[in-house]
Structure 1
Amino acid sequence: MRFHAFVFAALLAIGLCSASQARAQAPTSDIPIVAAAADLAFALEDAAKDFTGQSGRQVKLSLGSSGNFFRQIQQGAPFQIFLSADEDFVFRLADAGLTKDRGVLYAIGRLALIVPPGSPLQPDGSLADLKAALQAGRVTRFAIANPEHAPYGRRAEETLRHLGLWDAIHDKLVLGENVSQAAQFAVSGGAQGGIVAYSLVLSPQMEQRGRHALIPAEWHQPLRQRMVLLKNADDTAQRFYDYLQSTAGRRILVRYGFVLPGEQS
């Protein structure tokens, strides 16, 4: 299997996570750091602002792949909340005694196809046009998150395998370190499109950068997203954790296309 990885000049221009990462890298203080899956980039920006407006307290957001955060927490990284795109990472941390409990399911994620302006691909949620484009040689680069440690990458791979497209596309893949970076690759002009998080393509920051279509959830294992307080969580972390489960917090998640636990997709 051959994967191609490229760094595009347009990567920094999109700035999906730059503001969040800048805060996470600010000088240390008593502000708790939240480790969050990259599909939450825009939703958590809104949530953190609303939480600060309501409570007067702040949190720092660090966004990346759930698998990488899992390893960092195991190694003692000073996060206080972990919002994973795969609940298994939370369960494994809980089993290792690194969390306060086994956390709560906060959302079910969805996949979407996104194509940039000028792409030969159509924003077709059935991926029929992608199949035709592969057969016709119209696809040379296609973006997904790295399946080795990004849950959205694994679900993208499952979707492509379900449709019998994996063998035809695997040597054309551009892998993002996380799903946010994959979305940047997909719309940067170096790829014809990509399979990314629905929550990212719904954001105002992305709506002018490409067209999208929702992918059927039954084509892959559910993206069961779970959050948990880590052992060192303070009172502000607890309050933000509670806020995300409140009506206001859940409303933001719905705005970005997440399915709430117990609701139909």
Structure 2
Amino acid sequence: MPFVRRLLMRIATICLLLSTSIGAADEIFVAVASNFAATLKAIATRFEAASGHKIHISTGATGKQYAQIRHGAPFDVFFAADSRRPQLLESEGFALPGSRFTYALGKLVLWSPEAAYVDSHGKVLRNGKFRQLAMANPRLAPYGKAAREVLQAMGLWQRLQDRIVRGENIGQAFQFVQSGNAELGLVAWSQIRRDGQPVPGSYWNIPGNLYSPIEQQAVMLKPSLAAREFVAFVKSREARALIHDAGYDLP
């Protein structure tokens, strides 16, 4: 009997430990700008394997997600494509004070999937030998705002209005070009860069002085312990290496 009692107590202890371990796992709901979605998914996969937590990722335009958060969308963390929306959420009381940080610095490129179509100085924009130019909506997406600034700096914004097709976000703008619906696109460098492989098609790496810095910030929206652990992981050396390899500069 003492042996049976000890065995039952041991089994009960194991069950308690298992239930505690299972209970410790949590779900984290994250909103992320389209340009960073693939990179965040790669980071989330590693975090899930290490922590046991589950990350649910919602992708979209930064401006649209900002509006959703203000209207009660149940996100724990917001990874924006700019610094303005996280700052607004913090000042408006929708984010945890002091949780905002810059996780990446974005780059804009002019890209075509066709080889030798885009020259190294973007002269193709001036010669007009294209039907449509894709870009993200400047009102919703920071990369769209940067694209507008580039065209304005080149004196082409008004001239190209009838050729511009606007995606709701940078992901949609990229799809317009990738599918062939537009010959050219002002897209994120991270969308076309392949680590260790040649970039498909042709592109112009747009000088940074033609558009405002794309400082991508994240902010916590709820005081979740699991979300804090995820944010800490994003700031780790391992995650920062993934971000850099995906085509972003680091702050």
TM-score (norm 1): 0.80
Q: Is the 8 A contact 1:125 1:216 kept in 2?
A: no
- Give the corresponding residue for 1:126: 121
How many Å apart are 1:125 and its aligned residue? 4.3
Instruction: Return the alpha-carbon distance in structure 2 between the equivalents of residues 71 and 255 of structure 1.
Output: 31
- Give the corresponding residue for 1:258: 248
CA RMSD of superposed structures (Å):
2.0
Query: Which of 132, 154, 176 in structure 2 is aligned with 1:163?
Result: 154
1:148-184: CA deviation from partner (whole Å, max 9, x where unpaired)? 1110000001011111121221211111110011001
Consecutive unaligned residues in structure 2, runs of 5 or more: 1-24
- Give the corresponding residue for 1:65: 61
Q: Which moves more between the two structures, 175-184 or 53-62?
A: 53-62
Give every structure 1 segment of 4 or more consecutive aligned residues whose post-TM-superposition deviation is greater than 4 Å.
Answer: 206-209
Classify 1:69/1:219 alpha carbon distance in 2 versus 1 (closer, same or farther; 3 Å). Answer: same
Classify 1:207/1:73 alpha carbon distance in 2 versus 1 (closer, same or farther; 3 Å). Answer: farther
**What amino acid does structure 1 have at the position aligned with 2:216?**
Q
Matches within 5 A, 1:196-207: 196-203=187-194
Instruction: Return the alpha-carbon distance in structure 1 between the equivalents of residues 198 and 144 of structure 2.
Output: 21
Q: Is the 8 A contact 1:125 1:215 kept in 2?
A: no
Q: Is the 8 A contact 1:113 1:125 kept in 2?
A: no
Identity %: 34
Larger radius of gyration: 2
Q: Is the 8 A contact 2:193 2:199 kept in 1?
A: no
* Corresponding residue SS for 2:158: helix
1:41-86: CA deviation from partner (whole Å, max 9, x where unpaired)? 2211211111122222221111111100110000010000001111
Q: Quick check: 1:56 aligned with 2:46?
A: no
**What amino acid does structure 2 have at the position aligned with 1:227?**
A
Q: Is the 8 A contact 1:143 1:176 kept in 2?
A: yes
Consecutive unaligned residues in structure 1, runs of 5 or more: 1-28
Classify 1:210/1:53 alpha carbon distance in 2 versus 1 (closer, same or farther; 3 Å). Answer: farther
* Corresponding residue SS for 2:155: coil
Instruction: Return the alpha-carbon distance in structure 2 between the equivalents of residues 208 and 202 of structure 1.
Output: 6
**What amino acid does structure 2 have at the position aligned with 1:234?**
S
How many Å apart are 1:211 and its aligned residue? 3.2
Instruction: Return the alpha-carbon distance in structure 2 between the equivalents of residues 198 and 233 of structure 1.
Output: 33
**What amino acid does structure 2 have at the position aligned with 1:171?**
D
Query: Which of 99, 123, 126 in structure 1 is aligned with 2:95?
Result: 99
Instruction: Return the alpha-carbon distance in structure 1 between the equivalents of residues 135 and 209 of structure 2.
Output: 18
Q: Is the 8 A contact 1:112 1:125 kept in 2?
A: no
* Corresponding residue SS for 2:140: coil
Aligned length: 225
- Give the corresponding residue for 2:12: none
Query: Which of 150, 164, 167 in structure 2 is aligned with 1:176?
Result: 167
TM-score (norm 2): 0.84
**What amino acid does structure 2 have at the position aligned with 1:130?**
L
Classify 1:233/1:124 alpha carbon distance in 2 versus 1 (closer, same or farther; 3 Å). Answer: farther
